[in-house]
Structure 1
Amino acid sequence: MSGQCKNVKGGQMCTEHDQVEVAKLPELCEDGLKLYRDVLAAGGTAADGVPDCLVDLGLLRFLPDHPGFLTPVPPDLAAAALSRPIKQAITEHQDTLVAIRTTMARAEVVYAEAQQGGGTSVRVLSGESVIAAALEEAVQACREELLTAQPNGGRSPELLAEALPRDLALAARGVKQRTLYQHTVRAHGPTLSYIERVVAAGAEVRTIDEVFERLIVCDRRTAFMPGPHDRRQSALLIRHPSIIEYLVKGFEQAWSRAAAVGEAPSRLRPPPLTNETRRAVLRLMVEGYTDDAIAARLGISRRTVGTHVQKTSEVLGSRSRAQLAYLIAQTDLLDHSDLGAVEEGSEETA
């Protein structure tokens, strides 16, 4: 028995039913219309001399018992007889369309599974519970390396308490962990306690004064990053090798510029911290960010942002935010100056 589909011939798709044959409808001539009126009045007529259009349109029909005699047919019945094969063809094509959609729907399921299983997909996850479940599954399956970029300053004690046993378990399994924070975590007690524990277990933690996006990469095979809409309710699950390679390169570049955190908790706030935080605040201010936006991006309070801006304004003698941005740009304060002088200058002014 052949396994070939019955609608395939010679390796080509059969097209016998691709087109509906539509017969050319004859026109009802004036002579035929006049004779039809007369036949309706007479109840019938001999077949001799009858216009072909009346017979072709079904308006006159031969009687079974009288082959040479034609009887009139109501127009609605004649129209129904003419329409019947066309309606049947339409029904058959509609059934074919439904069959096509059903068949392709089954194939679409297989295709989607193959794309996902082949490691080439980018999926949007919606809802905190869905995102958390996907993250938990990916991290638990991690065997070699876990890269994490955590912006927005210190993390809540609840999140740290949830993350600590998981990350210690990863370290015990030999998973290499590298985590990148912003400098502001060096002043956040709960985060420092967490860092001390994971570093003691073998993890590496660094901080940087730059703004970056949240990123989690498991074994360089699966990555998570914020989604296109609400960042708490939306995330991207990425398995495309080229995209993951691109994300890891960005992480490595930031990692190379970051400062290691390995000291005891009492020494985790080095003197340059205030300078680096102020530099980040002023850089974002010059770029046009509001105090609220700066605070959110650096993970510090709005009051802290205002303090840094105010002290710098006092030293440089600016009277407005726009003038301060201009003076900072003119003095190359962000690139070449020691911002410790700003701190000292503000204290002397006070």
Structure 2
Amino acid sequence: MIRTGGSDTAESVAAGAAQVYACLLAREQATFQEIQAEVRCLPADAEKAVRALIGWGLLQGPSEEGHFHAVSPETARRVALSPLYQEVQGLQHAIAETSAAFDMLTPVYETHAGARGVPDLEEIHSLPAVRNLITGLAVDAQEEVLTSQPGGPRPEELIRESLAKAESLLQRNVRMRTLYQHSAQFDQGTIGYVEHVARRGAAVRTTAAGFPRVLIFDRRVAVLSLRGSREGALIARSPSVVDMAVQAFEHAWAVATDFPVSYDREVTQSTSNAIRSSIEQQLVDGISDKRISEGLGLSLRAVQRHIAEIMRELGARNRLHAGYLLCEKRLHKGSTPSDGSPETPAAQP
């Protein structure tokens, strides 16, 4: 007897489907009413089980007479896998053709590039090409992937794409560490992403200061921002350049804090204080509102709101006066800001 108790879980449907399948195997054919009477269940539960079996290819029907027929698992498997095999064969053919084209063009490259081989530094000027290259590097990664994502919250499309890559990496036991800026802590999409990957072993931290966008694969290839371009990237294979990128990442990682996936008043206040301190330091340094916004991953309006509040508290007449008063205040206290002046991140690939 099927007992789902109103539950529509995969486990309960599978259990009911097994009873219906056994019924059909014993009777060779049966109508829906006969199936329902045999397994003694509600019509809705019987319908769920029958639908599931038809979806798996284990049941055919109903015929014109209203009969359902059971199909052997081997036959159902072949029917279900046939289009997938055809798709795989098509992909294998496309891979072979593309690989052959590259084999044909490789001698041309070697003739003109001499003994240089694969370049230590290579500029890519197409965003789709960059994204496909990153996907390929992620597939090849074996040990560790380090990523820095400055600029605050990211679009949902990029979060979904990153989640798919992260799932694949973590399933293969590839270590993952990611740096965000504090402003990303308040984005629901980013919080959901971090919760998901953290449960699978990834480590995520945030920092108030900006850090250039970078992805480092197995400490042998680094994807860096390309100066003056938001569509391209610099691919670094030079061991010296990659080592420098790793050391810079490790330095930023050491002073960053764990990404909080649950909030209390103390955590929120600590993050707000860190952002406020960074804005104050940049006011002292005379950094423009736009550059502060880019460096902290905040909207320009949010930065201007913070600055207006700071000026009100200080009684400053303008930004220059606010910077002077902040500097004077710190001199009186005999202290220096903890965060320092953040580095402005390079253009995002």
Deviation at 1:229, TM superposition (A): 2.3
**Cα separation, 2, equivalents of 1:199 and 1:188:** 16
2:289 — aligned with what? Answer: 291
The structural deviation recorded for 1:221 is 0.7
Cα pair 1:192 1:265 within 8 Å, conserved: no
Q: Which amino acid aligns with 1:165?
A: A
Q: Which residue of 1 aligns with 2:257?
A: 259
Which structure would you say has the larger RCO, counting Cα contacts within 8 Å and 6 or more residues apart? 2
Question: Per-residue deviation at 1:261?
Answer: 1.8
| Residues 146/199 of structure 1: CA separation in 2 closer, same or farther (3 Å cut) | same
Pairs within 5 Å for 1:1-350: 109-110=110-111, 112=113, 114-117=115-118, 121-230=120-229, 232-264=230-262, 269-332=267-330, 336=335
Task: Tell which structure's C-alpha radius of gyration is larger.
Answer: 1
Report the counterpart of residue 3 of structure 1 in structure 2: none
- Name the CA shift for 1:166/1:268 in 2 (closer, same or farther; >3 Å): farther
- DSSP-derived class of the 2:146 partner: strand
Contact 2:194 2:261 in 1 (8 A): no
* 1:172-196 C-alpha deviation (Å, 9 max, x unpaired): 1000000001111111111111111
| CA distance in structure 1 between the partners assigned to 2:161 and 2:268 by the alignment | 28
Q: 327-336 or 241-250: which moved more? A: 327-336
CA distance in 2, matches of 1:152, 1:310: 22
Say whether the 8 Å CA contact 2:209–2:295 is kept in structure 1: no
Deviation digits for residues 262-321 of structure 1 (CA, Å, limit 9, x no counterpart): 543678953211111111222223222222222122111122111211111111111111
Q: Provide closer, same or farther for how the CA distance between residues 293 and 338 of structure 1 changes in structure 2, counting only shifts above 3 A.
A: closer
Moved more, 330-339 or 170-179: 330-339
Counterpart of 2:233, as a letter, is A
* In structure 2, C-alpha distance between the alignment counterparts of 1:139 and 1:114, rounded to whole Å: 28
Q: Give the secondary structure class of the aligned counterpart of 2:166.
A: helix
Amino acid at match of 2:319: R
Q: Determine if contact 1:227/1:235 at 8 Å carries over to the other structure.
A: yes
Indicate conservation of the 8 Å contact 1:126/1:235, yes or no: yes
**Structure 2 letter corresponding to 1:252:** E
Identity %: 30
Per-residue CA shift, 1:53-73, capped at 9, x if unaligned? xxxxxxxxxxxxxxxxxxxxx
TM-score, length basis structure 2: 0.61
Q: Which amino acid aligns with 1:332?
A: R
CA deviation string 1:304-341 (max 9, x = no partner) = 111211111111111111010011111128994899xx
Q: Distance in 2 between matches of 1:240 and 1:202?
A: 29
| Structure 1 SS opposite 2:116 | helix
- Judge conservation of contact 1:187–1:269 (CA < 8 Å) in 2: no
What amino acid is aligned across from residue 213 of structure 2 in structure 1? R
In structure 2, C-alpha distance between the alignment counterparts of 1:155 and 1:330, rounded to whole Å? 38
> 2: CA distance between counterparts of 1:219 and 1:113?
28
The 3 A distance-change label for structure 1 pair 286 and 116 is: farther
- Consecutive unaligned residues of structure 1, counting only runs of 5 or more, are 1-105, 340-350
Counterpart-to-counterpart distance in 1, 2:111 and 2:188? 50
In structure 2, relative to structure 1, the CA distance for the partners of 1:155 and 1:265 (3 Å cut) is: farther
